[in-house]
Amino acid sequence: MDPIKEAMLHRSRSAKLERRGRLLSLACISLIVLVVLAIFIFVASRGLATFFTNKVNLISFLSKSTWAPAVKDAHGVPQVGALPMIVGSFGVTFLSAVVATPFAVGAAIFMTEISPNLGKRILQPVIELLVGIPSVVYGFIGLSVIVPVIRTVFGGTGFGILAGTFVLFVMILPTVTSMTVDALKAVPRHYREASLALGGTRWQTISRVVLRAAMPGILTGIVFGMARAFGEALAVQMVIGNAALLPKDLISPASTLTSVLTSGIGNTVMGSLENNALWSLALLLLLMSLAFNLLIRWIGKKGEMK
Amino acid sequence: MKKLLGILAALSLTLLVACGAQDSNGESITAVGSSALQPLVEAAAEQYQSDHLGVFINVQGGGSGTGLSQIQQGAVEIGNSDLFAEEKAGIKAKALTDHRVAVVGITPIVNKSVGVKDLTVTQLRQLFTGEITNWKQVGGKNLPVVVVNRAQGSGTRATFEKWVMNGRQPLAAQEQDSTGMVRSIVASTPGAVSYVAFSYVDQTVETISLDGIAPTEKNVTTNAWPIWSYEHMYTKGKPTGLTKKFLTYMQSSRTQKRLVAKMGYIPMTAMQVTRDVQGNVVRK
Amino acid sequence: MSAKSIDKLMTGMLYLIAGVIVLLLAGLLGYILVQGLPHVSWHFLTSPAKSFEAGGGIGIQLFNSFYLLVLSMLISVPLALGAGIYLAEYAKKNWVTDVVRTAIEILSSLPSVVVGLFGFLVFVLQFKFGFSILSGALALTMFNLPLLTRNVEDSLRQVGFTQREAGLALGLSRWETVVHVVIPEALPGILTGMILGAGRVFGEAAALIYTAGQSAPALNFGDWNPLHIASPLNPFRPAETLAVHIWKINSEGIQPDAAAVSAGASAVLIIAVLAFNLLARWGGNRLYKRMTAG
């Protein structure tokens, strides 16, 4: 018998199935939420130990610029100042977003407004491929191509925020582009028609109507890209130089939260101050990604109200 | 959907069965820790397993800190470390038994462009503290010094600082968490200086003699070259069973002479001195 | 400047940007392939790695990568399907749903090294799975779930509401509508997302270093009983994947030909990801045609 017909004849069974299905999907989502909670509690309990067990001052953690958890200063307080990493992380994140945005928005406009055909056939696969390249590979290309280029052009060692920015630019480009494409596609067709009918050129339509209307979506895409850049570890770690110094310029070695976390975690003993301090960095990362998410939500709400 | 659920059920069943059957697979032990020691233990384990069928030795990296904290918790059978357990904060060394399986010599390396082949220990220290900023100050070319450090807490860095820095803190500079990265950065960056284990030196970088003494294995065996460390395999308490047999195999003169030397480590049997955790040297 | 010439100029700019991006990818791929392909041979693809001599291959690592991928997809796909269905079809629009969504997003922006360490402490030590494919697959599941869930939800949402109404009007329950009407319609999108996710999983290293481990013990390819330790199918053996192998060779490798092996392995990895992408496009289109009788 046809499954649809069968379903119609046995109402009670169908209702049972409905309940079971609903429960099943609810179980899946609960499991995921549980995992997130577990990670959060796990990272928080270790990250907070730095402040409660090891008595490190939260303010000095955020504002001091010497990172040497194994070394105590003159007052016997371990030197855990995360400021250089915080500055480094924000530096590469904002700069890469600044560089990536024009490219991403440009590419998205090209794909939706100028030449949807070329866009779908060439640009779309290219963007998807960029997502697929593993970050280890990005890191090695950065190390063997970008760093030497920066060294010959700008001097210095080539390692630093500039190199990190270039690598991250390529890595977040696909994210921002595809989200911008979605935002542009969501702009109703009659907006464009109205503008063109008023005698606007294509560019006038794009810049004054389409981009305006899609702005919240584009901003969301940019923030998404920044969230990805903030959490990226391996590729940035290879090119930024990992020096826990407040960056003076863009071409001297700096560090990010992830790079210090990744390179140090295997060398420390669980439960020791050195280890806890690294988990505090992880907690900071987690809170930042929470902040980025709230920002995205807020932009979304603002956009909705228009 | 139903098919999917069926596959899932079958899979979890397999896993359950595999879970139950896991222990009946003959003896197996796990060694975790130092990534510098990992290749040696892996190679030795491979040979040991081909000689003794049915045993399984699982060798993993993860860093000396991971090795020591896991052996302390008793989560693994062997914890590999580049450092004495006493040197690592947070480890109760009393509960652990030390098995030294090899010696690693560490040498300063520089980029080929610096034009310096010999330094005094003081000069080397000043390079790393930032007091010397240009290679011409130590008789080299007019080239700024670029210091590349290993990550904080790395065994190689601890050994280097113990025998070179004399209690001084190095300046905050680039840090890399692996020897391979350090070597390729030094090879490609003009004016770079860092340090690596002997076995990683190749033609892309230049080694430095200290006070006229060259970084050779022979000089390590007599302690004339002081920058070296033991590679330790720690067990919790006294080793038993397969762990004991495998450690004996690692320390046997056959393994030491053949495998250890072939892989670029210095065999324990070649050492003419011993050194304790405080650095006191005793001639054998 | 008149509006017309500005329009021309900006169109030119947009073409330029599109061109630059295409060139960027071409350059990246070209660089990796030119560096790596000369080292790739049948021997390289099939022989086991050597720990300190030249001439090692990536055979076992390649197999491990695929097996780990299959296992983690087997765990994460049903979960993501369920979660995606709930979010798209059942979830009410209230703060609880908001929190759930935020939680999933956070999981996706977590640095993979944190996921790896969490997996190490929970799966490897707490559950006593040891350094194993299973631990690795579970860690990768955590890494993969948010993206897959999002993808499933988006794909389901893109299915027109009339389709659902049709299903409901026929007297189907909501669940049956989802399973028999909405999912088939959304399948191409879901599939594309899965295969792209597979590519990401394939290249992941940091989350696996502490879970699936970084050693690849010799395998006996004649023994397919998943309970034997040397069997390729045993989910409890440690398994170094291709991406982890690249990372390891570059960080501590003492093989004389480490650079060549790493370049070759990178090329193979890229080709695999490329293949996944092509498969996704081809499979997605084909499936869509079949499902929609178009």
Closest CA–CA distance from residue A227 to any residue of chain B (Å): 25
Instruction: Assess A151–B contact: CB distance below 8 Å, yes or no.
Output: yes
3-state secondary structure of C237: coil
- Beta carbons of A267 and B146 less than 8 Å apart: no
* B130 and B200 share one domain: yes
3-state secondary structure of A204: helix
For B8-13, what is the mean pLDDT?
52
Judge whether A125 is closer than 8 Å to chain B, CB to CB: no
Residue with tokens 């050129």: A201
Burial group, residue A197, by CB count within 10 angstroms (0-12, 13-18, 19+) = exposed
Q: Is the dihedral of CA B164, B166, B170, B176 positive or negative?
A: positive
Q: Work out the mean pLDDT of chain B and round it to a whole number.
A: 85
Residue B141 lies in a domain: yes
Q: Which amino acid is at C139?
A: A
Q: What is the CATH number of the domain that holds B172?
A: 3.40.190.10
- pLDDT of C125 strictly over 50: yes
Question: Which DSSP helix (H) or strand (E) runs through C65?
Answer: helix C59-85
Residue B58 inside a domain? The answer is: yes
Q: Which residue has the higher pLDDT, C291 or C195?
A: C195
Residue A128 token pair? 């998807």
The residue of B2, B8, B159, B177 whose CB has the most chain A CBs within 10 angstroms, and thus the best one to mutate to test that interface, is B177
Check whether B80 has a pLDDT greater than 90.
Answer: yes
- Annotate A97-148 with three-state secondary structure: HHHHHHHHHHHHHHHHHHCHHHHHHHHHHHHHHHHHCCHHHHHHHHHHHHHH
Please calculate the CA angle C253-B53-B26 and round it to the nearest 5 degrees: 100
Q: Mind listing the pLDDT tens digit for each residue in B139-149?
A: 889 998 989 98
The verdict on residue B1 lying in a domain is no
CA-to-CA distance for C240 and C244, rounded, in angstroms? 6
Asked if B208 and B117 sit in the same domain, the reply is yes
B155 and B253 housed in the same domain: no
Q: Is residue C19 part of a domain?
A: no
What is the model's pLDDT at position C209?
82
Residue B149, domain member (yes or no): yes
pLDDT tier at B276 (50, 70, 90 boundaries)? confident
Residue B280 to residue A56: CA distance in whole angstroms: 36
Domain stops at, among B204, B221, B238: B221
- Residue B33 pLDDT > 90, yes or no? no
Q: What is the pLDDT of residue B120?
A: 92
Same domain? B99 vs B115: no
Amino acid B111: pLDDT: 93
| Mean pLDDT value across residues B72-95 | 87
Quick check: helix, strand or coil at residue B237? coil
Q: Do A85 and A261 form a contact (C-beta atoms < 8 A)? A: no
* Residue C219, domain member (yes or no): yes
**Contact residues on chain A for C91, CB-CB shorter than 8 A:** 29
Whether residue B11 is contained in a domain is answered as: no
Tally of domains in chain B:
2
Domain assignment present for residue B237? The answer is yes
Q: What is the CATH number of the domain that holds C98?
A: 1.10.3720.10
| Å between B136 CA and nearest CA of chain C | 32
Which range is least confidently modeled, A152-156, C77-81, C209-213, C280-284?
A: C280-284
Interface of C with A in 130-189 (CB under 8 A): 142, 145-146, 149, 170-176, 178-180
Number of domains in chain C: 1
Q: Flag whether B5 is in a domain.
A: no
The predicted model gives C262-268 an average pLDDT of 87
Does A126 contact C172 at a Cβ distance shorter than 8 Å?
no
What pLDDT does residue B109 have?
A: 94
Residue B22's pLDDT band, with cuts at 50, 70 and 90, is: very low
State the pLDDT at residue B2: 47
Percentage above 70 pLDDT, chain B: 91
Does C30 reside within a domain? no
Residue of B175, B176, B185, B234 to mutate when probing chain A, most A C-beta within 10 A: B175
Residue B264 domain-assigned?
Answer: yes
Say if residue B217 is in the same domain as residue B132. yes
B228: phi then psi, degrees, rounded to nearest 5: -150, 165
Model confidence over C159-214: pLDDT tens digits?
A: 888 888 888 888 888 888 888 888 888 887 888 788 778 877 888 888 888 888 77
pLDDT tens for B230-250 read 999 999 989 988 999 999 999
pLDDT of residue B5 exceeding 70: no
Tell me: do B212 and B123 sit in the same domain: yes
SS3 A61: helix
Question: What pLDDT is stored for residue C294 in this prediction?
Answer: 47
Consecutive 10-residue averages of pLDDT for chain A (306 residues) = 65 76 88 88 87 82 82 74 90 93 92 86 83 81 88 84 92 88 88 91 90 88 87 83 82 86 79 85 87 84 65
Same domain? B237 vs B208? no
In chain C, what residues touch B61 (CB-CB under 8 Å)? 209, 214, 248, 252
Q: Is the CB of residue C65 less than 8 Å from the CB of residue C137?
A: no
Within a domain: residue C104? yes
- Chain B environment of C214 (Cβ under 8 Å): 38, 60-61
**Same domain, yes or no: B177 and B244:** no
**Structure tokens of A153?**
């052009």
Residue C89 lies in a domain: yes
Look at residue C203 and tell me if it is in a domain.
yes
- Which of chain B's residues have a Cβ under 8 Å away from the Cβ of C217? 49, 56, 58
Q: Is the pLDDT of residue C103 over 90?
A: no
Question: Are B116 and B47 within one domain?
Answer: no
The domain of B48 spans 27-103+229-283
Q: Which residues of chain A have a CB within 8 Å of the CB of B72?
A: 269
Rounded percentage of chain B residues whose pLDDT exceeds 90 = 35
pLDDT at residue C290 is higher than 50? yes
B169, B198, B221 — which closes off a domain?
Answer: B221
Residue B23 has pLDDT above 50, yes or no: no
Domain co-membership, B188 together with B262: no
C236 in the Ramachandran plot: left (φ > 0), alpha (ψ -120 to 50) or beta? alpha
**Two structure tokens written together for B119:** 């330094």
Query: Side-chain half-sphere of A197: how many Cα atoms within 13 Å?
Result: 6
Burial of A271 (0-12, 13-18, 19+ CB in 10 A): middle
Judge whether C192 lies within some domain.
yes
Q: Could you tell me the residue range of the domain that residue C178 belongs to?
A: 40-291
Same structural domain, B95 and B193: no
Contacts of C250 in chain B (CB under 8 A): 178, 180-181, 184
φ, ψ dihedrals at A11, nearest 5°: -65, -45
* DSSP 8-class letter at B169: P
Taking the C-alpha atoms of residue A235 and residue A233, their distance in angstroms, rounded to an integer, is: 6
Distance CA A138, CA A131 (A): 11
Residues B114, B216, single domain; the answer is yes
Contact assignment for A243 to B154 by CB distance below 8 Å: no
The pTM of this model reads: 0.83
Predicted confidence at residue B207, as pLDDT, reads 93
C4 within some domain: no
Search chain A and give the residue with CA nearest C3.
A201
